[in-house]
């Protein structure tokens, strides 16, 4: 079941109605309903996936309580390693088993050694990378004594399986989301209306922009050998925005759904294409994952405390891990390496983190320098995404070499409407870059607001029906 489907359009009103009919004083009953609804939602992909999320939730609930009660450092460390081993073991088996077996066999083939590769027909559980990181952060934070263990299994299972953000984030921390399952949740019309606006904005980005871009992107990448340089550039450019609208659209819908049920989920994207350099871009792109890597990998490795060389090394490591997190393919690892290397000059020159406020604050338009900076970021990310999209590295290199042929054809003009679509998105987001999301227009007059709502809803309904999965479901 996906958000942009008729099934979900039936599922949501039923759960919403039952949830609020229980009454705000029956918090535990609401949590039980959310667990049941979330497991049903997740089980519609494959009921066998439920066993994995149940085991992961139960293990970390039990381990968390033992960690809380114990003051024996050695014992607590063993418990932490048990949690890490179980969760990463499940993730590694289901997501990376065949990848590592194939890579191992391929490496030894250069030495003349051949292996009888054992491949399993493993079905990747939807969203396993997301909820695994969410449960890991819980046990790690208890181990660090940053949070207390949860004593209510219903609340904890609801925290892990909360259906709005279960399969593609945001990756919530226990310190933010888990306490909300103990709070009395009272229906608030203003918050719910704001949630609906954000859902509409997310559906617009997903259905109207991402799904339409995917049509031309798939065609270009499938036939890249026969396309001219300009068309290949267009494919890379459109894929970057397809990924953005697909994933940030999901995040917007998840956050909006959370508000409908009285929850606050963290912001996951903050208009990243208006970044003036790459460090600023990564602070605004997939914020929940970036902050997770900083807290649980970068800082434990030493962060920036041990000198510049260690800082560069640690940044590069988290980008390699980030690439591998995105998929069991060397293309993702290479993509992560490219993005990590691109940050090295900023680190060496001490120019990372120099932008603290959004671009052109207090001005309608960017200056020429800011415009070039933003175009530079978009251009780099478009080219890096060629590796993200390609089935293997050889295809990615061939695609890049095709761009370097510098042969042009006017046939690319046939796709001008896709470029106009992206330009329209950028213009709209520019106007609302200081607000929570692109449809945060409560400051406008009632007539203007409802006119805009009608336009966006009509565009969504006009393009509705393809029911394409979200790109990040495969991660």
DSSP string, 398-432: HHHHHHTT----GGGGGGHHHHHHHHHHHHHHHHT
Q: Is residue 17 part of a domain?
A: yes
What are the distances in angstroms from CA 26 to CA 16, 163, 190, 308? Answer: 15, 20, 22, 53
Cα distance between residue 102 and residue 98, in whole Å: 6
Percent of the chain with pLDDT over 90: 61
Q: Is residue 379 part of a domain?
A: yes
Decide: 33 and 26 in contact? Cβ < 8 Å. no
Decide: 347 and 311 in contact? Cβ < 8 Å. yes
Other CB atoms within 10 Å distance of the CB of residue 73: 8
Claim to verify: residue 174 and residue 220 sit in the same structural domain: no
Q: 42-56, 77-91, 92-106, 302-316: which has the minimum mean pLDDT? A: 92-106
Claim to verify: residue 179 and residue 197 sit in the same structural domain: no
Q: Does 153 or 114 have the greater pLDDT score?
A: 153
- Enumerate helices (H) and strands (E) in the chain, giving the number of each: 18, 0
What one-character-per-residue DSSP string does 238-297 give? HHHHHHHHHHHHHHHHHHHHHHHTT---------GGG-SSHHHHHHHSSHHHHHHHIIII
- Confidence band of 95 (pLDDT split at 50, 70, 90): confident
Claim to verify: residue 60 and residue 202 sit in the same structural domain: no
Q: Is residue 281 part of a domain?
A: no
Claim to verify: residue 67 and residue 176 sit in the same structural domain: yes
- Split into its structural domains, the chain has a count of 2
Cα distance between residue 396 and residue 390, in whole Å: 5
Claim to verify: residue 435 and residue 468 sit in the same structural domain: yes
- The C-alpha angle 24, 29, 35, rounded to 5 degrees, equals 115
- Using H for helix, E for strand and C for coil, what is the string for 306-360? CCHHHHHHHHHHHHHHHHHHHCCCHHHHHHHHHHHHHHHHHHHCCCCCCCCCCCC
Claim to verify: residue 28 and residue 149 sit in the same structural domain: yes
Containing H/E element for 182?
Answer: none
Cα distance between residue 224 and residue 382, in whole Å: 16
Q: Is residue 1 part of a domain?
A: no
Claim to verify: residue 172 and residue 243 sit in the same structural domain: no
Residue carrying structure tokens 């993200």: 388
Claim to verify: residue 145 and residue 245 sit in the same structural domain: no
Q: Is residue 348 part of a domain?
A: no
- Confidence band of 357 (pLDDT split at 50, 70, 90): confident
Cα distance between residue 353 and residue 401, in whole Å: 34
Claim to verify: residue 34 and residue 117 sit in the same structural domain: yes
In the predicted structure, residue 413 carries a pLDDT above the cut 90: no
Domain boundary among 187, 211, 242: 187
Claim to verify: residue 214 and residue 112 sit in the same structural domain: no
In the predicted structure, residue 306 carries a pLDDT above the cut 90: no
Q: Is residue 24 part of a domain?
A: yes
Looking at residue 46, its pLDDT comes to 82
Domain boundary among 187, 217, 245: 187
Q: Is residue 200 part of a domain?
A: yes
Q: Is residue 203 part of a domain?
A: yes
- Confidence band of 468 (pLDDT split at 50, 70, 90): low
In the predicted structure, residue 201 carries a pLDDT above the cut 70: yes
Domain boundary among 156, 187, 218: 187
In the predicted structure, residue 293 carries a pLDDT above the cut 70: yes
Flag whether the pTM goes above 0.75.
yes
- Confidence band of 412 (pLDDT split at 50, 70, 90): low
Structural domain including 435 reads 190-276+355-474
Cα distance between residue 340 and residue 315, in whole Å: 7
User: Would you name the residues annotated as active-site residues?
Assistant: 326
Claim to verify: residue 39 and residue 180 sit in the same structural domain: yes
Claim to verify: residue 378 and residue 465 sit in the same structural domain: yes
């Amino acid at each position: 079941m996906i958000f942009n489907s008729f099934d979900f359009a039936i599922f949501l009103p039923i759960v919403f109605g039952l949830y609020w009919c229980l009454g705000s004083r029956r918090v535990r009953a609401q949590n039980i309903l959310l667990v049941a609804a979330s497991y049903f939602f997740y089980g519609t992909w494959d009921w066998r996936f439920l066993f994995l999320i149940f085991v992961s939730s139960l293990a970390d609930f039990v381990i968390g309580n033992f960690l809380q009660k114990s003051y024996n450092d050695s014992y607590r460390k063993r418990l932490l390693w048990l949690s890490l081993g179980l969760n990463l073991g499940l993730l590694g088996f289901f997501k990376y088993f065949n990848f590592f077996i194939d890579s191992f066999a391929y490496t030894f083939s250069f030495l003349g050694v051949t292996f009888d590769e054992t491949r399993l027909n493993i079905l990747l559980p939807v969203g396993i990378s997301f909820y695994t990181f969410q449960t890991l952060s819980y046990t790690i934070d208890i181990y660090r004594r940053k949070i207390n263990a949860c004593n209510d299994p219903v609340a904890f299972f609801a925290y892990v399986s909360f259906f709005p953000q279960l399969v593609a984030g945001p990756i919530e921390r226990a310190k933010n989301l888990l306490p909300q399952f103990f709070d009395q949740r009272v229906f608030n019309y203003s918050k719910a209306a704001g949630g609906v606006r954000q859902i509409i904005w997310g559906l617009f980005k997903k259905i109207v922009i991402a799904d339409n871009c995917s049509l031309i992107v798939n065609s270009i990448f499938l036939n890249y050998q026969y396309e001219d340089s300009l068309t290949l550039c267009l494919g890379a450019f459109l894929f970057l925005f397809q990924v953005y609208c697909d994933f940030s659209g999901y995040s917007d819908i998840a956050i909006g759904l959370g508000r409908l049920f009285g929850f606050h989920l963290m912001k996951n994207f903050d208009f990243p294409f208006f970044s003036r350099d790459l460090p600023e871009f990564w602070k605004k792109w997939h914020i929940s994952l970036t902050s997770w890597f900083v807290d649980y990998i970068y800082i434990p490795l030493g962060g920036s405390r041990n000198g510049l060389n260690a800082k560069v090394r640690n940044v590069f490591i988290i980008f390699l891990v980030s690439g591998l997190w995105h998929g069991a393919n060397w293309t993702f690892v290479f993509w992560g390496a490219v993005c990590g290397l691109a940050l090295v000059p900023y680190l060496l020159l001490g120019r990372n983190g120099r932008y603290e406020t959004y671009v052109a604050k207090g001005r309608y338009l960017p200056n020429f320098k800011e415009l070039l900076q933003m175009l530079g970021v978009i251009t780099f990310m478009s080219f890096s995404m060629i590796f993200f999209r390609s089935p293997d590295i050889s295809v990615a290199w061939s695609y890049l070499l095709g761009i370097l042929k510098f042969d042009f054809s006017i046939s690319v003009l046939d796709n001008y409407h896709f470029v106009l679509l992206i330009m329209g998105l950028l213009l709209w987001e520019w106007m609302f870059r200081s607000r929570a999301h692109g449809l945060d227009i409560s400051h406008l007059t009632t007539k203007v607001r409802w006119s805009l709502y009608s336009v966006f809803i009509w565009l969504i309904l006009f393009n509705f029906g393809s029911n394409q999965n979200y790109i990040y479901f495969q991660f």
